Amino acid sequence: MAGSSPPHRQSCQWASPNRSSIIADILGDDRNSEARHKSLLESAKKEHDRVRLEAERVYRQHMQKEEQQRLLEEKQRILEAKRREEERIRLEEHNAAERTRLHALRAKKIEMPPTPKEPEPPKATAPASIPPPVHSSSQATSMNGTTAPQALQTPALFGGNKPTIDSQPATHNSSGVQKPGPASQTTAAIQASAAPNARGKAQNNGPSLQTKPSQAPQTTQSTPQPSTPVTPDRYTVIHQNLKILRKFMIEQAKANKALKERMGDMRREIRKCVGQLTGGAGANRIQQASIINLLREALGNQVGSAPMDPSLFILGPRNPVQGALHNEPQLPSLFFYLLNIFSKATVSQFINEAGAKPETADPVGVCIAFVFSDPEFLWRGASLIDILMAKFRIVCPVLFGYRGNEKTEQGRARLGWWKDNGHWVGDQQHMDRMTGLGAGFAAVSLRKFANSKKDNPYPPRYYWAAMARIVNTPPAEMSNTQCVVLRSMIQNFEHKFIEFYGTAAIVALRMCLVEFPARAPQKTPAVGSLEVLGQVLKRDAGLHL
């Protein structure tokens, strides 16, 4: 009703028994009694025990789950490791099967057809002579005071005779050097082989040296000439004698402890010095001095090595020369052994380094000329560089006029193709070896001695002869190996060649880089590289061939 007072709200007449009991407990008279406290403590202890037991139960469950997870992960790791091992075993079994098939393929031999007889080269008519070149004062002077040829006849490049190839091809060992046929020589046989010309046979005669551009140079020092003609294949006999020398030194070292220790140290030192040769003026003085000192020590023969006849390691016999430091019939065998080690190390340097970088052959060639021209290391007035050339004859026969078919076993053996573990190396490796050896031969034979008191151990006429032997090859017998060697002989050395022979060198370069590749029956990359080199010389040096 409007204006009347609100209805009277009745309060709760009955309180909650729980609420009243709790309040009664709190406000009771015995709330501070000892019994009350003990009751509360017991209640708290029971609650604590309950919470602790629950926590332990939860902890045990957690640990059980962790252990199960760990065991599961361990099982997964074991399964994964087992899978990997099974995969590895499958791969190894597969590789072993493939290797077995590869060995079976390598062991399979296909009989090569016999090499057809080489046709007789046509007799070339002698063309008209080339006008005499005009030389400057620097071009007219050659090694040891000799002069360059004043008139070059064209037959000098075409008049070489084809070498007769041995019926038994040479083989190669793992170091890249051909092995001649089996020899029955012993150490005593070396001492008995003082007459080198008795070794040569008529059927093994190499190319005629009619390819020389001029007469032999007149030197101020009287050097005896061989009494009988010498065949180029004498180099293989020298190479075989060097192998027997090595065995002879090993036998000596067994009985001479001082020789054994010193010989090993000297061998390692020479190899180290040759491996350190580098370009730059005066960069190799320490290495060259070390090699010279070792050779002098070997000549002194303080370790007592047995004497040997030097004629075993040269092309032809020599008579004593007045004023020579060494005219005696024998020299210490350690001296020849070290010259052999030095020669082998330089040839290896040409193969391993100059194959990729032909310009690195020049410092090695300087060191070779420095060592072999030293008057202390001459025998009867002439150098012992035939030891080095014997190794060139084995590893690069095309420099000495030998030819062959690169597709046959015998042809590859004639060309110096290397065998590794009884198998021919690949084409690229063979061409790299020939590149280094061709550059090395040029670095040795194109050394300038005009301002030196020493005699040139290997004058440029040998470079001319090697070039002529290659250019004289009939088109049917041309090979890529010849082209690669010829290119490496010319590249980086054309300026030295022209410096020695002037206009005659330019005519020879035209023969090598224009006419020779034009006669090739097949235009292979090796043949094309000669033509490209001619174009490069025209572009960079202004040399019009």
Tens-digit pLDDT profile for residues 375-391: 999 999 999 999 999 99
pTM as predicted: 0.61
Neighbours of 397 (CB within 10 A): 27
Task: Quote the CA–CA distance of 196 and 237 in Å, as a whole number.
Answer: 8
- pLDDT surpasses 70 at 201: no
Is the domain of 310 the same as that of 402?
A: no
> Residue 282 falls within a domain, yes or no?
yes
Is the domain of 241 the same as that of 278?
A: yes
> Residue 170 falls within a domain, yes or no?
no
Proportion of the chain above pLDDT 70, given as a percent: 72
Question: In which domain, by residue range, is 47 found?
Answer: 5-75
Residue 443: what residue type? A
- Within 8 A by CB and 6+ apart from 227, the residues are 316, 317
Instruction: Name which of 256, 345, 243 is nearest 294 in CA terms.
Output: 345
CB 342 within 8 A of CB 274: yes
CB 158 within 8 A of CB 276: no
- pLDDT surpasses 90 at 231: no
Is the domain of 345 the same as that of 407?
A: no
Band of residue 9 on the pLDDT scale cut at 50, 70, 90: low
Q: Which residue has the higher pLDDT, 22 or 477?
A: 477
Rounded to an integer, the average pLDDT of 384-410 is: 94
Is the domain of 389 the same as that of 470?
A: no
- What is each CA distance from 176 to 271, 344, 440, 444, in whole angstroms? 17, 11, 16, 20
- pLDDT surpasses 50 at 291: yes
CB 145 within 8 A of CB 220: yes
Which residue, of 393, 411, 440, is where some domain finishes? Answer: 393
Tens-digit pLDDT profile for residues 474-515: 999 999 999 999 999 999 999 999 999 999 999 999 999 999
Which residue, of 75, 106, 131, is where some domain finishes? Answer: 75
- pLDDT surpasses 70 at 197: no
Is the domain of 401 the same as that of 383?
A: no
With b meaning 16 or more CB within 10 Å and e meaning fewer, what string describes 238-269? bbbbbbbbeebbeebbeebeebbebbeebbeb
Task: Quote the CA–CA distance of 353 and 395 in Å, as a whole number.
Answer: 15
Is the domain of 246 the same as that of 382?
A: yes
**What pLDDT is attached to residue 7?**
55
**What pLDDT is attached to residue 156?**
44
> Residue 160 falls within a domain, yes or no?
no
Is the domain of 371 the same as that of 402?
A: no
CATH code (residue 485): 1.25.40.510
**What pLDDT is attached to residue 442?**
95
**What pLDDT is attached to residue 127?**
36
Give DSSP secondary structure letters for 408-441.
SHHHHHHHT--EETTEEPPHHHHHHHHHHHHHHH
Mean pLDDT (the chain, rounded)? 78
Which residue, of 59, 75, 91, is where some domain finishes? Answer: 75
- pLDDT surpasses 90 at 172: no
Instruction: Name which of 488, 381, 376, 500 is nearest 448 in CA terms.
Output: 500
Q: Which residue has the tokens 């007469």?
A: 215
Q: Where is average pLDDT lowest: 79-83, 131-135, 463-467, 525-529?
A: 131-135
Q: Which residue has the higher pLDDT, 306 or 233?
A: 306
Q: Which residue has the higher pLDDT, 211 or 458?
A: 458
Is the domain of 247 the same as that of 302?
A: yes
- pLDDT surpasses 70 at 289: yes
**What pLDDT is attached to residue 191?**
45
Q: Which residue has the higher pLDDT, 97 or 230?
A: 97
**What pLDDT is attached to residue 110?**
58
Task: Quote the CA–CA distance of 50 and 56 in Å, as a whole number.
Answer: 10
- pLDDT surpasses 70 at 128: no
CB 200 within 8 A of CB 233: yes
> Residue 17 falls within a domain, yes or no?
yes
> Residue 147 falls within a domain, yes or no?
no
Is the domain of 284 the same as that of 329?
A: yes
Tens-digit pLDDT profile for residues 350-364: 999 998 888 899 999
Tell me how far the alpha carbon of residue 296 is from its chain's centroid. 29
Is the domain of 377 the same as that of 410?
A: no
Is the domain of 337 the same as that of 401?
A: no
**What pLDDT is attached to residue 229?**
40
Band of residue 144 on the pLDDT scale cut at 50, 70, 90: very low
- pLDDT surpasses 50 at 519: yes
Query: Pairing relation of β-strands 307-308 and 331-332?
Result: antiparallel
Instruction: Name which of 522, 521, 514, 517 is nearest 543 in CA terms.
Output: 514
446's tokens:
């194109």
Task: Quote the CA–CA distance of 163 and 462 in Å, as a whole number.
Answer: 16
Is the domain of 521 the same as that of 388?
A: no
Q: How many domains does the chain have?
A: 3
**What pLDDT is attached to residue 283?**
87
Tens-digit pLDDT profile for residues 278-287: 988 888 999 9
Rounded to an integer, the average pLDDT of 333-359 is: 93
Band of residue 19 on the pLDDT scale cut at 50, 70, 90: low
> Residue 329 falls within a domain, yes or no?
yes
Q: What's 14's DSSP letter?
A: S
Q: Which residue has the tokens 């032999």?
A: 216
CB 232 within 8 A of CB 390: no
59's tokens:
């902890």
Tens-digit pLDDT profile for residues 209-228: 333 333 333 333 333 343 33
Instruction: Name which of 251, 236, 233 is nearest 188 in CA terms.
Output: 251
**What pLDDT is attached to residue 174?**
37
CB 270 within 8 A of CB 345: yes
- Within 8 A by CB and 6+ apart from 21, the residues are none
Band of residue 194 on the pLDDT scale cut at 50, 70, 90: very low
**What pLDDT is attached to residue 111?**
56
293's tokens:
């000192």
> Residue 124 falls within a domain, yes or no?
no
Proportion of the chain above pLDDT 90, given as a percent: 57
Rg (Cα) of the chain, in Å, rounded? 45
- Within 8 A by CB and 6+ apart from 139, the residues are 148, 498, 499, 500, 501, 502
CB 443 within 8 A of CB 362: yes
18's tokens:
């729980």
Highest mean pLDDT among 154-168, 276-290, 384-398: 384-398
> Residue 151 falls within a domain, yes or no?
no
